[in-house]
Amino acid sequence: MVRLTLLGLVLWLYLAAATPLNPHVFSDTTDYPLPNPGNIAAHDPSILEYNNNFYLIKGGVRIPIFRAPKLDGPWTRIGTVLHGPSTIEKGNRRRPWAPTVAWWNNRFYCFYSVSQTGKRNSAIGLASSDSLESGAWTDHGALIHTGTGPGSDIYPFNVTNAIDPAFFVDLDNGKPYLQYGSFWDGIFQIALNDDLSVGNPTNPTADHLVYLPDEKRKPNEGPFMSHRAPFYYAWFSHGKCCRFEDMGFPEKGNEYSIRVGRATNVHGPFVDRDGKSLLEGGGSIVYGSSHGEVYAPGGIGILPGAGDRPDVLYYHYHNTSIGFKQEVCAQDTLP
């Protein structure tokens, strides 16, 4: 059903020494193509093409930015989005998660998550700059809060976890949207104003996109919206993302996989290949673990095609022959 051309630009999530492995939890299906290596270690990458270059940001201390002339690198670190900890006084403000880079009205924006594992005391922050290269980013602080903070008592912020932002402009009417969410009440889409503040903040326009009503654990997260007429595609990751080394491996199939549903309206309702609503646990698996080597792919984004290049689905994954330790870069140990 998905007419998007899939090209796996793949980013190594973890670099580590060999780990004792339990091979029967790894799928060796060949149903999914092997990745085209991205040649960079990244957790939750976000990529923007600008001026014949690719810019990649990822979760990390102050949100590092990389530039490459091609999608397979070489990637050069050119700076960070934040100059210090986020101004949002929550959780991991020194090392925000899952940032998204976007271009809107002649300015660059970075949405980022401040949170703590397993808690919904979170916020999505926003920073902006007139240049990707200059380092002249301004941190605007929180766009939305969950758990505590201004607006966190308003629906749907009172039932969701404000992490994993994605940004989408509906080309039909030029309106900007934020998608976000992880576990709890799932994934929502919020209408934004032209200055990217939340529209009508005491009663925001909120579309519920993805939800698992029946399961006690609700591991849907990391949304991304794309459009190819006449359909809007709501992408997300489902399953266990990480910490396999200290928390163990889930049963085969319960690790991260990349899922999607589609709708003819940006507000939904989104359904999968079998017609099952994404609000009823639906979501067609587009890409999962394979070849005994690609494990728990997720953290997706789609780079729109340009010239001869088709749309590109990019994602991170664990390479089972490298290991599962949390990626640690020299930069990540800075305060």
As annotated, the active-site residues are: 44, 221
Q: In angstroms, rounded to a whole number, what is the distance separating the alpha carbons of residues 164 and 111?
A: 9
Interacting span for ligand NAG (CB under 6 A) from 42-50, 153-161, 245-253, 263-271: 153-161
- 328 interacts with ligand NAG by CB under 6 A: no
Q: Cis check for the bond before 297: say yes or no (omega within 30 of 0).
A: no
Smallest distance, ligand NAG to C-beta of residue 290, A: 9
Toward ligand NAG, which CB reaches closer, 211 or 231? 211
Toward ligand NAG, which CB reaches closer, 133 or 293? 293
Smallest distance, ligand NAG to C-beta of residue 10, A: 6
Toward ligand NAG, which CB reaches closer, 6 or 322? 322
Interacting span for ligand NAG (CB under 6 A) from 46-54, 130-138, 192-200, 319-327: 319-327
Looking up tokens 């916020």 gives: 123
Q: In angstroms, rounded to a whole number, what is the distance separating the alpha carbons of residues 107 and 265?
A: 27
Q: Which of 73, 71, 67 is nearest to 101 (CA)?
A: 67
Interacting span for ligand NAG (CB under 6 A) from 226-234, 274-282, 295-303, 317-325: 317-325
Q: In angstroms, rounded to a whole number, what is the distance separating the alpha carbons of residues 271 and 277?
A: 4
Smallest distance, ligand NAG to C-beta of residue 157, A: 8
Q: What does DSSP assign to residue 245? A: H
Rounded to 5°, the CA angle 253-16-73 comes to 90
- 294 interacts with ligand NAG by CB under 6 A: yes
Toward ligand NAG, which CB reaches closer, 147 or 176? 147
- 35 interacts with ligand NAG by CB under 6 A: yes
Q: Please, which residues bridge with residue 51 across strands?
A: none
> Contact 289/295 with Cβ under 8 angstroms?
yes
* CA 199 from centre of chain: 22
CB-based contacts of 20, cutoff 8 Å, min separation 6: none
> Contact 122/147 with Cβ under 8 angstroms?
yes
SS3 39: strand
The site that binds ligand NAG (CB under 6 A) totals a number of residues, namely: 10
Toward ligand NAG, which CB reaches closer, 79 or 323? 323
Neighbouring C-beta atoms of residue 181, cutoff 10 Å: 30
- 293 interacts with ligand NAG by CB under 6 A: yes
- 321 interacts with ligand NAG by CB under 6 A: yes
Toward ligand NAG, which CB reaches closer, 74 or 84? 74
- 155 interacts with ligand NAG by CB under 6 A: yes
- 78 interacts with ligand NAG by CB under 6 A: no
The site for ligand NAG (CB under 6 A) is made up of 34-35, 155, 158-159, 293-294, 319, 321-322
